[in-house]
Structure 1
Amino acid sequence: MCADTTNTPDYRSTVFLPETEFPMRAGLPQREPEWLDRWARIGIYDRLRERGRAEGRAPFVLHDGPPYANGHLHIGHALNKILKDFIVRSQQMLGRDARYVPGWDCHGLPIEWKIEEQYRAKGLNKDDVDVVAFRQECRKFAEGWIDVQREEFKRLGVTGNWADPYLTMDYHAEAVIADEFMKFVMNGSLYQGSKPVMWSPVEKTALAEAEVEYHDHTSHTIWVKFPVVAAGDALFTRTRTDVVIWTTTPWTIPQNRAISFGPEIGYGLYEIIGRPADSTATIGQRLILADKLAEAVFTQAKLSGPDFVRRLCDVAAGDLAAMVCAHPFRGVEGGAGEWDFDVPLLPGDHVTDDAGTGFVHTAPSHGDDDYQMGLKFGLPMTYNVEPDGSYRADLPLFGGQAILTPEGKEGPANVSVIKQLAYTGALFAKGKLKHSYPHSWRSKAPLIYRNTPQWFVAIDRVLEDGMSTHGETIRQRALNSINQLVEWTPVTGRNRLHSMIEARPDWVLSRQRAWGVPLTCFVKKGARPTDADYLLRNGEVNARIKAAFEAEGADVWYVEGFKERVLGGIVDPAGYDQVFDVLDVWFDSGSTHAFVLRDRADGAADGIADLYLEGTDQHRGWFHSSMLQACGTKGRAPYRGVLTHGFTLDEKGMKMSKSLGNTVAPQEVIDEYGADILRLWVAQSDYTIDLRIGKEILKGVADSYRRLRNTLRFMLGNLAGFTDAERVDVAEMPELEQWVLHRLAELDGEVRAGYARYDFQGVFQKLFTFATTDLSAVYFDIRKDSLYCDAPGALRRRAARTVLDALFHRLTTWLAPILVFTMEDVWLSRFPGEGESVHLRDIPETPGAWLNPALAAKWERIRAVRRVVTGALEVQRTAKVIGASLEAAPVVHVDAATAALLEGVDFADLCITSDIAVVTVPAPEGAFALAEVEGVAVVFRAAEGAKCERCWQVLPDVGTHSHAGVCARCDEALG
């Protein structure tokens, strides 16, 4: 019998629908700046530092790798700073005093180059301007961009001591950088040497490896004959015999001083017995080549095949070692005797038969391998190339010719050398080769190896500093630090830096520029760099320099009379020259541990950071220079942990480029979606590899955010008015609530462990799955009926709201390091006080007693059975047999063990049906089943009775109670 609902009251106002001011639409681009202003107003960062001191929290110091202050942020900056913020915030909420002092690199070529560009645009020459005035322009330029970048970083939601960042151009920083440099003066590792270094003719300075980029470049290639003039066996001198070399730098031929061969390589003597009509080869001439490469060489010279060449015999390493060649320009007209010297053949381990001829033309002034050969065998150095990349003016035949022009284009030197080789008959073949070639990171122009006097730190010299705990040399200390003192994330970073440190040459510190900290040292007039008293090593002089820099900045070094000021009364100023090179900017940033970690109150007590975090390129940059610098002045690495992240690519995996139009600017993402979406993109990505970003990827991120936001909004809405008086003890709760608390306890351990190992992708994936699957799709879906329709005092409803409160405090704090703005919005929606902020909270302790593995195992099976039921109902819904699951009362066929699990569980409530029958009889043919859930089958049955006008369940008792048209549960709730 159906109830008469003709005059049924409207019960909508009696249902406890969610109440919250937390909006469905986030409006992040408009609202995020309001939270930033609020955080600044209530001083969150400072309050956390005060709390850390008051509570005696263990410090956690992430030391900021300084970006250059010379332009707007790109997406790589955003990735880097957001990752740092994840760590600082999560460590704080895990109970540490997490300090973060942002900093900027202010000296160096990138900024100086910008000022030079401005000068060139006005037709001015930098060299005509007073150096102090020029440096002040560089300082002003950096100051302007620091202000811009600071606001852009803050807009990303990055917390830190933005009011007092560190700047490498602050007077104290410049004083400390100079002081750190002078420690190398005093410990005996600094020396002036003349060796080949990467040189930019455009910028007229040496470059560090970290300042070098590699791009495709087309080079001339030549095969050059060096005539043998003396040999142990007359076989090689009776008939003209040539050793053939191959090079991609023809301009280095005038600087040749030897030929290197591989002692383990097989060589042969070859004779030209014929030639095609268009060949200039000399029949009867003999050539020595590596056997493996001979065919390719003759092919290049158009002499391939048995009609043109025959092999006469082996040439042993001993034969080669006994040979002497002439330079191909010996006796050349106009050569003025410049090249009238012998060219020895020398064994070299660096020679291979992978390409070329098996012989390496050796110019000690223009390559590291060549230089090492020069040191080993006493070869002379040459000084033929000027700072602007041209030959010295008095070099015969080629004087004044440019290798590279001031614009970075190829000059005439290469072609002139090739023509002269052809004129002398030494050119055997020529061609062009497209290959990866070093370029300046700033001017983008090609580089050359150039011999020039520079200042170096010897990394294998025993240091005179008494700090031998981790080794006596810089290299030993660095390798021991890498292996024993530093934790690497990912671990591959350890191998990369180790191999670089293990194989690196001495550190070139000097740059021939103006904007930077000068090499604060003096050299004795008339002394040679190898003399023991060449460098002035005086602690009193050093102290005066440091004090002057502290008071007046590094500009004072360039003020007339400064030498007399600091040397007077200690040594005779007239007896010393002042050095005016500036320090490699990597020495600046490598020294930051001293003036940030060591000297600041918010630094680290022992001057060692818990973590350095930068991109993978910094294994040869900041990680590397910091390691070398600190090992020379502290005796160990300045960090306990190093984390590296990949680069940012477009959606197709291509490198971003303005010319390709595939860049993604952080501000564009913020304007469209908000900074939290950018932060969520970082959290969803595996930062240990290169990360992709683009419109479609960001749409997917925004969709994930929307789903998570809906979960949070449901939670907030159903907590309206919750008080401690409603709380229910765990033991009194239904098993479903106990299962949710178990999941919270599980997640608490996983989240803490994930944050501790910087696994943000893992943390977010776990939380997102929990929120959207365990909560939204299961728990909230099931408990929605109870929350909306149960009486306020009903145990089931009170238990659900108690669990929601536990969820609120954990989800907001677990997610706060990632979604800084959204979690603040969630928190303030419930606790709107002026001094309130989720970022002033720690992740709450979660009782271990909530863990209940046995219950979890039971509910894993219950959820599997539920999946079969919901699958069966979906079939009926798709067939339009029912519109909602509450119209069903299915029969569930299970085994006895499963039936026992379901005893005492309101399975109809779990399946959101009005009734359900659990039976252990075999299922009839055609019953719905899922292959992955064994022993469960479902037969659809419609629910019997009428639809409750309040809760919409279909029950037999509807209409039989004091309130019209409702079920017993709703009648009780209505009172």
Structure 2
Amino acid sequence: MRWGLRPRGPGAAALASARNLWGPPRLPCRLGWRGTTKRLLLRSVTGASNQLPNSNSGKYRDTVLLPQTSFPMKLLGRQQPETELEIQQKCGFSELYSWQRERKVKTEFCLHDGPPYANGDPHVGHALNKILKDIANRYHMMNGSKVHFVPGWDCHGLPIEIKVLSELGSKAQSLSAVELREKARSFAKAAIEKQKSAFMRWGIMADWNNCYYTFDAKYEAKQLRIFYQMYDKGLVYRSYKPVFWSPSSSLRTALAEAELEYNPEHVSRSVYVKFPLLKPSPKLASLLDSSSPVNILVWTTQPWTIPANQAVCYMPQSKYAVVKCTSSGDLYILAADKVTSVASALETTFETVSTFSGVDLEDGTCSHPLIPDKVSPLLPANHVTMAKGTGLVHTAPAHGMEDYSVASQYNLSTDCLVDEDGIFTDVAGPELQNKAVLEEGTDVVIKMLQTAKNFLKEEKVVHSYPYDWRTKKPVIIRASKQWFVNITDIKTTAKELLKKVKFIPGSSLNAMVEMIDRRQYWPTEMTDKWSRIICQFIDKAFEQIYDLNKQVLLYVLSLFGMRGQDLNLPALVYVTGALATDLQALSLVESSALATSWSFVGLLWTYLSCCQDFSADFSSRDKIGGKNQVTGAKALAKMKVLLLKKATMENEERNKKVSGKNVEIKRTKNKGGTCGSRSRVPAPYARGESSESESLLTLLKRHFKSLTLAKQKFSQLRNTLRFLLGNVTDFNPETDSIPVKNMYVIDQYMLHLLQDLANKVTESYRRYDFGKVVRLLRAFYTRELSNFYFSIIKDRLYCENENDPKRRSCQTALVEILDVVVRSFAPILPHLAEEVFQHMPHVKEPKSVFRTGWISRSSIWKKPGLEEAVHGACAMRDSFLGSIPGKNAAEYKVIIVIEPGLLFEIIEMLQAEETSSTSQLAELMMASETTLLTQEPREMTEDVIELKGTFLINLKGGDICEESSYKVIVMPTTKEKCPRCWKYTAESSDTLCPRCAEVVSGK
């Protein structure tokens, strides 16, 4: 085994111990050079390791100060989780939240816990959710703030109900609504306990004794009160409108947009249909031959909606054409830009008779293709595009959002011919009645078009189409009576409030604003049983909703607060006295419509704001859809930072709360403990991959697949920490520290780098860029520490006298490095940080890194001139090591020749005397002896290696700038290897070098 600089140990046992336990990994090293990156060629040093120690080496074993610590290099098998549990108990993880809440501090950090969904075992999405929040909380707590973090759970919704139904099987059919809700409640409670246990095992610091649950009676009453406040202001209303509907689901339910998956490979049966022109506009009439029939040419991918047609829409600003089919002689009207493509699709050619503007179609009408005596008006609409089709759009208001808008504007019928099962009703006529619209119903409609001679062609079209995420089958759009949230009047206010919040990433704000702009309303009612009840009173005869007077409302709300929303009783049973008389006079009954979980999560912020004096400094997008931004906009504006993270789905980027395929974290497979999971969570952000365009699961999967590499990096961190701990065992910072100005230059340089690291880490935490923290720390402990600094200082640590100022200088730097590094990763890896803290010598109570504050930095660490000295010496070191690849640097002596000037003065800081084997320059070069000259020596042997180079010195922002040349002369040493330190500085192989002789004589 070869090391760049070998531990100097006496005897085979000591050497093996030093190499195997304390030798740092030999990897390429980089140091910054004025904004650029330069590789330090840390060559492997051979020779000594290939020789057996001589007979004298054993007697010096006890004089070498090898590192000593009980901190283990690695934890195998069950050791990792067992050690973490022991640390949690010993360091008071469970008491940490209450301890920090009792501190008297000036600042408070409040993090809003957008609740996870209580629908199953803990999974990767939960880990991402909670660990990211915990990192933020722990940083702010260590940095002097009192943290407010009350965890909660969203306990309602279809995913829970579906799981309950699947477990019950056929037994579910005999359950009443209240019984099913009770089963769902029990399931949610069990899921909460599983998840809570996992969160606590992951070391999440929170107020676990006062969690909030959305099925709590007081919570439900408060939500209902807010809902009625919105109703009074006209923000919530009941109406008949088209919504996404899933006929394939056993629940026969409307779907929120977040519950849709878009299948890009869906195949639709598109058709070209003729709508005979009945009455042309005056302008159009002047262009047509009245003796020849003309047809409006329409293309649609939903033939089953044609029976519900009420109009044909056109784009007023576009050009249209009257064309003649060369094969049939028929006349058609379509967009001028689509003539060629449509003719090609119909496998014919068109001859353009005339062209006109879309506005010339105004006041025209055509005949319904299936009902000849029914008139379909030609209407202008801005949603018509020329991307596909003919530029003329068949309009069925009951089956399209834009179609419905047109119907509202022109007072068209919105009757729906399709029931909740996706079946044509009797209103559709005997030919279509009881036919499934997406199956045989489509066949029948096409045959009816053919019979009416209004069918031109059918073709298969592959395009993106919405599917029900549960059944993986296509949905339809159908009109039904629903509760809706109207945001038209509050859009502007909501968007302005959102702009006051800092979004991470910043581009997410635009995406959210665009989401709000796209819709005028959102459906907020569901047909699932396990949801939040909207307590409404409806006239049985006319299905008219009656406003509740304040007395009735307050009474109902008081019952909700005491008994929850599972009353499920007629209103007259629990409303008594004068209130009951009022209700009886109106012949009212109670109807328990159900609100979607999605719509009520938006009210969560309002609830917290009212109940907990809530003003969040930080939140994450757990359930922040468009409607939730609007309904909770006022409370959302109190948040300062909003982190948007991608949901963790197995295949699609859907919200993790409604996914049936989350990647579960099984305890039996998680033998690596918590540190492995916590260390990998920030990784996607470390590579700048937290964009909205890529599924976070893809990132996490990619990171988890590199588990071997992750273990290597984690082991390297432990080895670095072990080296630091082992070499400060005999060091007391209060009595043994060396003043910074008296420290070795290389030690001062490391403190200089350490302050820069501390500043960057702190700023990254402040900006919630936890991935950058990981990247900064990994670069520091692999490059600056393991590959560079540790290789240089081992001889000083192991072979100098215990109390020698040179050794104490190094230990002073190591103590500061250990402290900064541990505090830097503590919020991310709390278990490891506490484990290291327990092994720190001379640490006073309390023995918890989280109760001792954030990183301490000193302004005197920052010394820009140090960089020039170290970088200049490293440039010469690169030349030296590059000239002896694969050889032991200690077998050579080096002469450095620098022309008089600034560079010479800087390097002279490292070696005051002309020749030395113990100077700072010799230590950095790792040679047996270094000589510093201003002129090349007159006599040199023939086996020397001469290397030339230049180094640019740039100080004080360019005020001092000087390029100096240097020469490195390399020659074999004439000395022998010291049996104690293994440096080639002894007069013979049986005698100690002068340094070691002095140290041993003192012992």
TM-score class, shorter-chain normalisation, is: 0.7 to 0.9
1:582 aligns with 2:594: yes
Q: Which residue of 1 aligns with 2:710?
A: 701
In structure 1, C-alpha distance between the alignment counterparts of 2:138 and 2:690, rounded to whole Å: 20
Contact residue 571 and residue 590 of structure 2 kept, 8 A:
no
Alpha-carbon distance in 2 for matches of 1:211, 1:736: 59
**Whole-angstrom CA distance in 2 between matches of 1:767 and 1:636:** 34
Does 2:441 match 1:437? no
Q: String of CA shifts for 1:482-510, please: whole Å, max 9, x gaps.
A: 22x10011111111111111222212211
| Deviation of 1:773 (Å) | 1.5
Structure 2 equivalent of residue 901 of structure 1: 906
Q: Does the residue aligned with 2:379 lie in a helix, a strand or coil?
A: strand
Gapped runs of 5+ residues in structure 2? 1-52, 911-919, 953-963
2:319 alignment partner in structure 1: 266
Aligned to 1:890, what secondary structure does the other structure show? strand
| Among 701, 725, 733, the residue aligned to 1:716 | 725
Secondary structure of 1:940 counterpart: strand
Instruction: Tell me the residue number matched to 1:381.
Output: 414
- TM-score, scaled relative to structure 2: 0.84
Structure 1 window deviating more from structure 2 (837-846 vs 582-591): it is 837-846
The correspondence of residues 83-94 of structure 1 with structure 2, limited to 5 A, is: 83-94=132-143
Summarize the Cα distance change of 1:270–1:8 in structure 2 as closer, same or farther, 3 Å threshold: closer
Q: Which amino acid aligns with 1:321?
A: E
Rounded to whole Å, the distance in 1 between the matches of 2:198 and 2:503 is 29
How big is the shift at 1:566?
9.9
Secondary structure in structure 2 of the residue aligned to 1:544: helix
Structure-to-structure mapping, 1:68-467, within 5 angstroms: 68-119=117-168, 121-122=169-170, 124-125=172-173, 128-201=174-247, 202=249, 203-215=251-263, 216-231=265-280, 232=282, 233=285, 235=288, 237-274=290-327, 283-303=328-348, 305=349, 309-331=350-372, 340-403=373-436, 410-461=438-489
What is the letter of the counterpart of residue 206 of structure 1? A
Distance in 1 between the 2:635 and 2:515 partners?
A: 19
Q: 1:241 to 1:397 in 2, by over 3 A?
A: farther
C-alpha distance in 1 between matches for 2:494 and 2:830: 38
Deviation string, structure 1 residues 193-234 (Cα, Å, up to 9, x no partner): 111111122232222212222113211101111101112317
2:891 to 887, 892, 897: 887
Compared CA separation, residues 579 and 57, structure 1 to 2 (3 A):
farther
TM-score of the two chains, using structure 1 as the length reference: 0.86
Task: Return 695-704 or 807-816, whichever deviates more.
Answer: 695-704
Question: Structure 1 pair 28/507, CA: closer, same or farther in 2 (3 Å)?
Answer: farther
User: In structure 1, what residue type is equivalent to 2:908?
Assistant: E
Q: How does 1:600-679 map to 2 (within 5 A)?
A: 600=612, 605=613, 607-614=614-621, 621-631=623-633, 634=634, 637=637, 639-646=639-646, 666-667=665-666, 671=670, 673-679=672-678
Counterparts of 2:239 and 2:289 in 1: how far apart (Å)? 39
* Residues 246 and 415 of structure 1: CA distance in aligned 2, closer, same or farther (over 3 Å): same
Distance of aligned partners of 1:939 and 1:558 in 2 relative to their CA distance in 1, 3 Å threshold: farther
1:541 aligns with 2:541: no
Tell whether the 8 Å contact from 2:895 to 2:933 is kept in structure 1 after alignment: yes
Deviations 1:564-596 (A, max 9, x none): 359826842452342321111112322222444
- 2:603 corresponds to: 591
Q: Hey, what does 1:814 align to over in structure 2?
A: 824
Any conservation in 1 of the 2:570–2:589 contact (CA below 8 Å)?
no
Does 2:91 match 1:61? no
Write the distance in 1 (CA, Å) between the matches of 2:274 and 2:577: 57
Superposed counterparts of 1:545-560, under 5 Å = 545-558=556-569
Match of 1:927 among 935, 942, 946: 946
Of stretches 40-49 and 769-778 in structure 1, the one that deviates more from structure 2 is: 40-49
Q: Distance in 1 between matches of 2:948 and 2:667?
A: 50
Rounded Cα–Cα distance in structure 1 between residues aligned with 2:859 and 2:130: 35
**Structure 1 residue matching 2:245: 3-state secondary structure:** strand
Name the SS of the counterpart of 2:439 in structure 1: coil
Alignment of 1:465-864 (within 5 A): 473=490, 475-483=491-499, 485-523=500-538, 534-558=545-569, 561=572, 564=575, 568=579, 571-575=582-586, 576-596=588-608, 598-600=610-612, 605=613, 607-614=614-621, 621-631=623-633, 634=634, 637=637, 639-646=639-646, 666-667=665-666, 671=670, 673-686=672-685, 687-689=689-691, 690=694, 691-694=699-702, 696-723=705-732, 724-830=734-840, 836-864=847-875
- 1:164/1:567 CA distance change after superposition, 3 Å: farther
Tell whether the 8 Å contact from 2:98 to 2:207 is kept in structure 1 after alignment: no
Deviations 1:232-277 (A, max 9, x none): 3172652111101111111111111000011122211122332xxx
- The one-letter code matched in structure 2 to 1:693 is K
What are the equivalent positions in structure 2 for 1:42-57 lying under 5 Å apart? 43-57=92-106
Q: Decide whether aligned partners of structure 1 residues 562 and 443 sit closer, same or farther in structure 2, where only a CA change above 3 A counts.
A: farther
Counterpart secondary structure, 1:893:
strand
Note if contact 2:93-2:203 (Cα within 8 Å) is conserved in structure 1: no
Q: Distance in 2 between matches of 1:446 and 1:546?
A: 40
Distance 2:649 2:570 in 1: 47
* Residue pair 2:155, 2:188 contacting (<8 A) in 1 also: yes
For 2:395 and 2:652, the matched residues in 1 are separated by 41
Tell me how far apart the structure 2 counterparts of residues 663 and 131 of structure 1 sit (CA, whole Å): 28
Segment of structure 1 superposing worse, 828-837 or 73-82: 828-837
Contact 1:946–1:954 (CA under 8 A) maintained in structure 2:
yes
Matches of 1:785 and 1:946, distance apart in 2:
17
How far did residue 314 of structure 1 move? 1.4
What's the counterpart of residue 19 of structure 2? none
Paired with 1:161 and 1:30, the residues of 2 have a C-alpha distance of 28
- Residue 77 of structure 1 and its aligned partner are, at CA, apart by 3.3
Separation in 2, partners of 1:509, 1:559? 23
Aligned counterpart for 1:967 among listed residues 994, 997, 1000: 994
CA contact (8 A) 2:178 2:568 kept: no
Q: Shift of the alpha carbon at 1:744?
A: 1.7
Q: Is the Cα contact below 8 Å between 2:485 and 2:627 reproduced in 1? A: no
Q: Which ranges of structure 1 fall in alignment gaps of 5 or more residues?
A: 275-282, 332-339, 405-409, 462-472
Distance 2:102 2:233 in 1: 38
Deviation at 1:460, TM superposition (A): 2.4
Query: What secondary structure, in the 3-state scheme, does the structure 2 residue paired with 1:845 have?
Result: coil
SS in 1 for 2:670: helix
Amino acid at match of 1:547: S
Q: Secondary structure at the match of 1:519?
A: strand
Give SS of 1:645's match. Answer: coil
Compared with structure 1, are the counterparts of its residues 843 and 570 closer, same or farther at alpha carbon in structure 2 (3 Å cutoff)? Answer: farther
Number of equivalences: 901
CA gap of 1:966–1:916, structure 2 versus 1, over 3 A, is closer
Structure 2 CA distance for aligned equivalents of residues 692 and 935 of structure 1: 50
C-alpha deviations, 1:646-687, integer Å up to 9, x for none?
Answer: 46699x999999xxxx99654489636443233222333225
Q: Tell whether the 8 Å contact from 2:501 to 2:641 is kept in structure 1 after alignment.
A: yes
Closer, same or farther in 2 for the Cα pair 1:44/1:573, shift >3 Å? Answer: farther
Secondary structure in 2 aligned to 1:828? Answer: helix
Question: 1:459 & 1:16 partners in 2: Cα distance?
Answer: 73
Asked if 2 retains the 8 angstrom alpha-carbon contact of 1:517 and 1:582, the reply is: yes
Q: Secondary structure at the match of 1:246?
A: strand
Distance 1:610 1:801, change over 3 A: same
How far apart are 1:158 and its partner, in Å?
Answer: 3.1
- State the distance in 1 between where 2:361 and 2:163 align: 52
- Tell me the distance in 2 between the aligned counterparts of 1:540 and 1:11: 94
- The 1:100/1:928 distance shift into structure 2, 3 A limit, reads farther
